[in-house]
A = this chain, B = another copy of it.
């Protein structure tokens, strides 16, 4: 079968990004609005996937019809198996069949992964795909954390592939020439951590073509962070949500203080020029979503409460990495060792 990458890996750049119009807490309105904005603002062809009668004015965007919807809380495997005409399954099929360059969804994360995996298939040689999530870094490119939740249980061989894919992704998405890669653990020493972490540490140190700099700790995720941080999907998901939670706590608490009284409200005016860009940098609507690495196609996972802006960001990422040849880069990176 000839997919979006075409024979020989050339990317057919005229293809649209397929946006799952039915997925997300704010679907379909915000999703459709975001898709329209993406096509106008980015000049990227976009197609919507979903129930045409529920999408309202699509601003001229084409719709790939799909009559079913996999709910946000539905069992992913069951949903994909039973709902063959769901927007998620149809979006993944569009990528597989070369009718779309990439897919974007803010829907059920598990079902998004399952759709991509089952319809696009795994990249050759990949044991398991992983979710790569950007962690914003002030004044620098984001750090790539993976796996952010695709695989609760991992083997050392899987984690080595995550490291290779994460490095290739950092290069493809952020133009980092020779990305540093660290393993998330509970101390700098290679003797620290679970047996899995120790085994992985030894393997990573012996993997050619990888700039492995040793263990990183939770506190390194926001300060002098490595370009890529590798961990199993359970730990990665806990770390990421801990980070999100503390960020929200801090922002909420600060906003509350700034609203206390006339004096603090006046103070907030002086601080706004500096706080606003900071808030924007850490706004999940701007980071562009996570990417499922290791499937034979591009699948961008936007957060469940995605706004139109989040969809614009996600379409941009999908288009950029697809036209940048990410899938080929991943296959190449893993084939090196």
Contact = CB atoms under 8 A, between A and B. Distances in A.
B194 A223 contact: no
Contact of A278 (B231, B253, B271): B253
Contact of A223 (B185, B217, B248): B248
Interface in A39-80: none
Interface in A145-204: 149, 152-153, 184-186, 193-195, 197
A243 B219 CA distance: 7
Contacts of A239: 218, 238-239, 242
Contacts of A223: 245, 248-249
B186 A152 contact: yes
Interface stretch (A122-130, A261-269, A308-316, A321-329): A261-269
A291 interface: no
Contact of A274 (B218, B250, B257): B257
A2 interface: no
A241 B219 contact: yes
A257 B242 contact: no
B248 A247 contact: no
Given A186-B149, A271-B264, A218 B237 contact: yes
A185 B186 CA distance: 18
B260 A267 contact: no
Interface residues of A, number: 51
B244 A219 contact: yes
Contacts of A241: 186, 217-219
Interface of A is mostly: helix
A246 B274 contact: no
Contacts of A197: 152, 234
A104 B152 CA distance: 37
Contacts of A249: 222-223
A254 B254 contact: yes
A206 interface: no
Contacts of A13: none
Nearest to A264: B270
A240 interface: yes
Contacts of A184: 238
Nearest to A240: B218
B247 A193 contact: no
Contact of A234 (B233, B235, B254): B235
Interface in A278-330: 278
A221 interface: yes
Contacts of A335: none
A275 B194 CA distance: 39
B248 A219 contact: yes
Contact of A257 (B219, B235, B271): B271
A138 interface: yes
User: Which are the 4 A-B pairs with shortest beta-carbon distances?
Assistant: A218-B241, A219-B245, A218-B242, A267-B267
Given A186-B234, A193-B234, A243-B246, 6 more contacts: A152-B194, A153-B194, A184-B238, A186-B241, A222-B246, A238-B239
